[in-house]
Structure 1
Amino acid sequence: MRRNQYSLSGHLVLSISVMLAILWAVGVGLAIHVMRGEFDEVFDSGLQETTERLAPLVVDDFFRRDTVDEPYRIAQLRSDSTDEYLTYQVRDASGRVLMHSHNVDAVPYPAPLVPGFWSEGDRRFFTVATIKDTLFIQVADSLEHRQEATLESAIALLSPILFLLPIAMLATGWIVVRATKPIDNLRVAISARDGANLEPIDIAGLPAEIATIPLSVNTLLGRLKLAMQAERDLAANSAHELRTPLAGALAQTELLAGQLERPSDKARADRVLEALRRLSQMLEKLLQLSRAEAGIGLADSVLDLSALFDLLVEEFRRTNPSSQVEIVRKGSQAPIVKRLDPDAFAIAFNNILENAQRYGMPGHPITIIHDPAGRITVSNVVVDPLEPDVNIYRRRFRRGNSRAPGSGLGLAIVDTLMSQMGGALVLGSRNAANGDVVFECTLDLDASNAATMQAR
């Protein structure tokens, strides 16, 4: 199952930006907390100073006026004044309001007649006692004014982050991308290494933190290159060393069988010849499997698939004259250029042709469909019933219910080679119109198309 992947640079940019926003918010919160305390001190100081300066003026004005039973309301000097946050009352020792400002009614303040500060509700009071504690001047300040000042200060501190955070994200992204560029280059270089490209990775310009990674990868690539070369050499040498004595044994056995006269001896010689031929076929498939596992399917060069296809079909017809082959070409006949190894493709294509010839019903043709996308489908009518899941035949030594001679390795070799060539072997079966069961092998050199066909 594929794991979810994410960008390292994107993760760093997002993390750093979120961290900056959180730190800025925490800093603003601490600043607002400190500012709130400073604002309270400033407003309290202004409230106290206003009350103490107002006290002698109010007392002097109070004694200049005639004594009345109703509280005296000070008239408003400016009618256009709207931001008036301070109000005051002059009260006697019993708490009765004697005089009050124009922006407050005659209802006594809830603050007690005790000198000092008092807070209740949304107002802050300061009380001053005069004339031997018989007259009290109380000034009230609106706490909403203080909250408004704090809120405006907080907005002034927070608003820059709305403009600076996108700029900080762009700057952080630019820095992170430049800092992680060597890592991205190393990722691209490592992803480009496969069985066809085992060249060492250039470590020039890499930072010290990741310089050891390509050194280890280069060491591994060197060992892998030597191991693959050794496997290829072993396959080639084994083919030369084993085929020659086996061919000699076959030839000597055939001569010996021709010289025998008694039917019993001749029958035993024929069984020996059959066993040697099967051993020769098994050896051929094992050598092909060894070459496939050595990675011969990978190649840097490109070739014309159509020309190679025609050559292989003609060779198969020449070596199997009794087999009837029908070719169906779809689409245009333009050259189909693919990046693959011709020897590997020849092994894969010949194996599915041999599979169709060996397990197909006699008298029925082998049909080959070739389309412009590079898909080659070989189909044949089978003699024996197929397994419910035909993909079981791609496993090694799985031959189904057929009694025809075979190694059970052909489709396994094809599956391995197609994976190396960037494609896939797609197996399927269908019922023909006359009731015959048709087995299909498709060589699809486009992995995305192969995945779609297998999903169907």
Structure 2
Amino acid sequence: MRAARPQSMTRRLILWLTGATTVFWLVAAGLGIAVMKEEFGEIFDASLQETAERLLPLVTEDMKRHGESVSAEERGGEYLVYQLRSADGSVLFRSKGAPAAPFAAPLKRGFSQDGDYRFYTVKTRDGSLFLQVADAWDNRDEATDEGGMALFLPVLLLIPVSSGLIWLIVRRMLAPIDAFRQAIEEKDGGNMAPLASKGLPGELEPIARSVNHLLARLQAAFDAEREFTANSAHELRTPIAGALAQTQMLMIGLEGPEKRRAEQIETSLVNLRHTTEKLLQLARAEAGIGVAGTRADLARVLELVLTDFQRGEMAVRIAYEREPGAVLEGAYSEDAFAIVLRNLIENALLHGQPGEPVSVRLQKGGIVRIVNAAPRLSPDELIAIRKRFGRGNAIARGSGLGLSIAERLLQQMHVRFDILSPATGRSDGLEVVMRF
């Protein structure tokens, strides 16, 4: 199952700030529209009342001039409509656009309303005539909607502008954190240079100092480990080589059972020398010798290592092929690459089918393939042989450290390392692929 990718703090911060700003803008616009609607209602009511009080004397005067005729009065606009009604509720005069049927409003002074209109009623001093001025709800809603859109549209434009500004500000403010993170990611066994603390925000300076103290301690530990490894290599190889030489000399003058016991001692010493070399190589790999800052021609190193193997007793089993134009250059450690090759080729010769060749190919694109004939391995067996001291079902002698040493060094060199079974284009075999 794939591990979930950790979420970016920058992305979450931008999303949260943008979301909060958007909500605040929308809430502010909504409150503004609500307040505006309330204020508009007060303004419309005041206008309705003032219109009714000013129209009453004019309409009564017209009635006296023209008589009680409903159709005599046709002036006025359609925004506000009115009816002049008698005390019994009949319509005496009405404005253009006013309905012929009496308004559904009581004949008493003040505001009233129904589903279609908001009314204001005034009456004459003698109470014989009532003027009812009506303002349609549709007119009020239209004015409120237009005012709301005038307030809401700028908010819709401000939201993306605010989001862009938030993105720029957050990225700029968090840039030192990102640079600091990248600087820490670059640290490994071969790069222990102190982190630059100049220009960092005050919150990051203590972290930078702590990391630099830790790097200094790690560098001292690595230096001590490298020195110990170098000294141990000499101190261990010399007595083992001496004991092996003395045993071989002793075997010259022995016969029978004594010679067989001496041969067993010789075999044990050879195995001890081999295991010691692997442990020393592992210690060097853990010390970070795979990191190098100088450019090297690894194809030359590959050919030198193969020449060394071809001088041995298994020379006939190694088949080397280099594609025309294939190169292998880069900022890599030659020493580490030589250790990797020796372990991988030695494993291929040791654990491959006896008598079957080991193919070493250098291809274009910086790809090195080492293939040997061997029974097909299951996925669990492929995982097992990559572990330290992992030997799988192998019956040949060995320490089980070769692949782990090679993989550790290749990780330091940032080289992709794959083990395939069966080999490419075959139904069996084991293939090691290094992609530089």
* TM-score by shorter chain over 0.5: yes
What is the CA–CA distance in structure 2 between the aligned matches of 1:292 and 1:304, rounded to whole Å?
Answer: 20
Specify the alignment match of 1:140 in structure 2: 134
What is the CA–CA distance in structure 2 between the aligned matches of 1:252 and 1:444, rounded to whole Å?
Answer: 41
Given residue 212 of structure 1, which amino acid in structure 2 is its aligned partner?
P
What is the CA–CA distance in structure 1 between the aligned matches of 2:329 and 2:36, rounded to whole Å?
Answer: 75
Q: Does residue 238 in structure 1 map to residue 232 in structure 2?
A: yes
Q: Are 2:376 and 2:430, in contact at CA under 8 Å, matched by a contact in 1?
A: no
Deviates more, 1:357-366 or 1:303-312: 357-366
Specify the alignment match of 1:293 in structure 2: 286
Cα separation, partners in 2 of 1:361 and 1:19, compared to 1, 3 Å: closer
Q: Does residue 396 in structure 1 map to residue 391 in structure 2?
A: no
What is the CA–CA distance in structure 2 between the aligned matches of 1:235 and 1:283, rounded to whole Å?
Answer: 11
What is the CA–CA distance in structure 2 between the aligned matches of 1:239 and 1:405, rounded to whole Å?
Answer: 22
Specify the alignment match of 2:430 in structure 1: 440
Q: Are 1:323 and 1:365, in contact at CA under 8 Å, matched by a contact in 2?
A: yes
Q: Give secondary structure in 1 for the equivalent of 2:32.
A: helix
Specify the alignment match of 1:452 in structure 2: none
Select 1:214's aligned residue among 178, 189, 208.
Answer: 208
Q: Are 1:429 and 1:440, in contact at CA under 8 Å, matched by a contact in 2?
A: yes
Deviation, structure 1 residue 102: 2.5
Structure 1, unpaired ranges of 5+: 78-82, 447-456
Given residue 411 of structure 1, which amino acid in structure 2 is its aligned partner?
L
What is the CA–CA distance in structure 1 between the aligned matches of 2:377 and 2:19, rounded to whole Å?
Answer: 58
Given residue 21 of structure 2, which amino acid in structure 1 is its aligned partner?
L
TM-score by length of 1: 0.87
Q: Give secondary structure in 1 for the equivalent of 2:143.
A: helix
Q: Are 1:327 and 1:368, in contact at CA under 8 Å, matched by a contact in 2?
A: yes
1:332-347, aligned counterparts within 5 Å? 332-333=325-326, 335-347=327-339
Select 1:185's aligned residue among 179, 194, 202.
Answer: 179
Q: Are 1:423 and 1:443, in contact at CA under 8 Å, matched by a contact in 2?
A: no
1:257-406, aligned counterparts within 5 Å? 257-261=251-255, 263-320=256-313, 323-333=316-326, 335-382=327-374, 385=375, 387-389=377-379, 390-391=381-382, 392-406=384-398
Q: Are 2:293 and 2:331, in contact at CA under 8 Å, matched by a contact in 1?
A: yes
Alpha-carbon deviations, 1:236-269, whole Å to 9, x = none? 12111111111111111222222224x0111111
Q: Are 1:418 and 1:443, in contact at CA under 8 Å, matched by a contact in 2?
A: no
What is the CA–CA distance in structure 1 between the aligned matches of 2:429 and 2:225, rounded to whole Å?
Answer: 34
The CA RMSD measured in Å over matched residues stands at 2.5
Alpha-carbon deviations, 1:124-166, whole Å to 9, x = none? 1111122422221111111222222211211111222233334
Q: Give secondary structure in 2 for the equivalent of 1:238.
A: helix
Q: Are 1:381 and 1:437, in contact at CA under 8 Å, matched by a contact in 2?
A: no
Q: Does residue 43 in structure 1 map to residue 44 in structure 2?
A: yes
Q: Are 2:424 and 2:431, in contact at CA under 8 Å, matched by a contact in 1?
A: no
Q: Give secondary structure in 1 for the equivalent of 2:81.
A: strand
Q: Are 2:25 and 2:159, in contact at CA under 8 Å, matched by a contact in 1?
A: no
Q: Give secondary structure in 1 for the equivalent of 2:371.
A: strand
Structure 2, unpaired ranges of 5+: none
Query: What percentage of residue pairs aligned between the two structures are identical?
Result: 41
What is the CA–CA distance in structure 2 between the aligned matches of 1:388 and 1:37, rounded to whole Å?
Answer: 78
Cα separation, partners in 2 of 1:372 and 1:108, compared to 1, 3 Å: same
What is the CA–CA distance in structure 2 between the aligned matches of 1:85 and 1:60, rounded to whole Å?
Answer: 23
Deviation, structure 1 residue 437: 7.5
Cα separation, partners in 2 of 1:219 and 1:140, compared to 1, 3 Å: same
Given residue 355 of structure 1, which amino acid in structure 2 is its aligned partner?
N
What is the CA–CA distance in structure 2 between the aligned matches of 1:56 and 1:373, rounded to whole Å?
Answer: 101
Q: Give secondary structure in 1 for the equivalent of 2:311.
A: helix
Deviates more, 1:1-10 or 1:186-195: 1-10
Specify the alignment match of 1:89 in structure 2: 83
What is the CA–CA distance in structure 1 between the aligned matches of 2:315 and 2:121, rounded to whole Å?
Answer: 123
Deviation, structure 1 residue 6: 4.9
What is the CA–CA distance in structure 1 between the aligned matches of 2:352 and 2:6, rounded to whole Å?
Answer: 47
What is the CA–CA distance in structure 2 between the aligned matches of 1:181 and 1:416, rounded to whole Å?
Answer: 33
What is the CA–CA distance in structure 2 between the aligned matches of 1:432 and 1:156, rounded to whole Å?
Answer: 69
TM-score by length of 2: 0.91
Q: Give secondary structure in 1 for the equivalent of 2:105.
A: coil
Cα separation, partners in 2 of 1:419 and 1:150, compared to 1, 3 Å: same
